[in-house]
Amino acid sequence: MALPYLEAVLGFIVSMYIFETYLDIRQHSALKLPTLPKALQGVISQDKFEKSRAYTLDKSRFHFIREAVSTLMDITILYFGALPWLWKKSGDLVLYFGLNADSEIIHTLSYLGVFMIWSQITDLPFSLYSTFVIEARHGFNKQTLRLFFLDIFKGICLSFVIGPPIVAAIIIIAQNGGPYLAIYLWVFMFVISLIMLTLYPLVIAPLFNKFTPLPEGELKEKIEKLSASLKFPLKKLFVVDGSTRSSHSNAYMYGFFKNKRIVLYDTLIQQCKNDEEIVAVIAHELGHWKLNHTMYSFIAVQILSFLQFGGYTFVRNSKDLFHSFGFDSQPVIVGFIIFQYTVMPIQHLVNFGLNLVSRAFEFQADAFAKKLGYGAALRAGLVKLQEENLSSMNTDPWYSAYHYSHPPLAERLAAIDRDKED
């Protein structure tokens, strides 16, 4: 007797929607609170709190609609067999253009191409509303419609350039991998991840943003001095024009071995009151490097990737699984898609665990910056970023525990203050 895989997946999707909607309702109620939490009273200005409250409530209302529509679409696509129907129609498309219909690679590329276009079309109204209504209403959106659609066009072009060789290689490996398939797939994707980590900041990111060297001055000198004191192999300091799209701010670092780079958003430089706050934020990021958080995260991702490939090898030849989702054949990439649906319960648990670890890392990086003498500056910088980004001031503990990869501001400030008392 065939197991009801599809029914189980649909049941989980509905169950998770109910559970996450309950958490969303709890968070929405927290966002509606008219006063700041005690830990932030006298720290966050009343004006910024009111603006944050309006912004986060707008996003929360929109989130309810987007999640309801998205869940309904997922259920409809699975229940009415849209995936196998699309597989058949993509095969007809291959025949229409006179290509080899017996080639699984060509058929799969047609399938993924149509699916990607469909996803772009269905997501477009939500992206437009989020960017040009909500973000614009609260003063964050800085991009034009032309730039918005240009980014989408560039993204699609990149997918058509990068995707086909990777998809073709995965299919070939899956068809010839034998008993060591999981190992071959993992090695291949490990190499691809290293290549992408190298190419993204050097080739792909500059297609969307302009990266310029940080000008000579006190800020650059302080960051270089801090990096040298920690023996961080800093090679270049960049400023990225994040303000062309949004007034949200950030900073990050990238690079392998002795070739590290730090990138500051121009909005971060504009928003922080002084260089010391920016350097404190960088000290936090360097804490992640010094404490090996980046390496631990990379290793965890690789382990999870290997386990996923291992799980896939157990189900790739299951006719019952494919048949449950409406497929008569067993295409390689379709097998990956179906497998992702079947392991969703495990993925949610894993994501929850990773968020717990990530929050612990954030506390550790804050403590690292504090020990370097940047406690007061980091505290001021975190408050400034919270205010300027209009981040949630009141958070529901259940919602933040489940969703947040970073601790709420009140918890981070309390931890910094405890370190000070200790």
- Residue numbers annotated as active site: 285, 366
- In terms of Cβ atoms closer than 10 Å to its own Cβ (0-12, 13-18, 19+), residue 276 is middle
Cα gap 220→225, rounded to integer Å: 8
Distance (Å) of CA 130 to CA 61, 250, 390: 11, 20, 15
Among residues 302, 343, 316, 304, the alpha carbon closest in space to that of 170 is found at 316
In the block, residue with structure tokens 């996003």: 59
Of the CA atoms within 13 Å of residue 306, those in its CB half-sphere come to 10
Residue 362 annotated in ligand binding? yes
Q: How far apart are CA 104 and CA 100, in angstroms?
A: 9
The dihedrals phi and psi of 260, each to the nearest 5 degrees, come to -95, 145
Collapsed DSSP state (helix, strand, coil) of residue 41: strand
Separation CA 318–CA 339 (nearest Å): 11
Contacts 24+ apart (CB under 8 A), 6-10: 6/78, 6/79, 6/324, 6/325, 6/326, 8/342, 9/78, 9/341, 9/342, 9/344, 10/75, 10/78, 10/79
CB 321 within 8 Å of CB 342: yes
Question: Which SS3 state, helix, strand or coil, does residue 265 take?
Answer: strand
Residue ranges of alpha helices (H) inside 104-217 are: 104-129, 136-137, 145-176, 181-199, 205-208
Q: In what order do the strands lie in the sheet with 260-265?
A: 211-213, 234-240, 260-265, 251-254
The answer to the question of whether 138 is labelled as a binding residue is: no
366 token code pair: 């804050």
The whole-angstrom distance between residue 318's C-alpha and the CA centroid of its chain comes to: 31
Please enumerate, by residue number, every residue annotated as part of a binding site for Zn(2+): 284, 288, 362
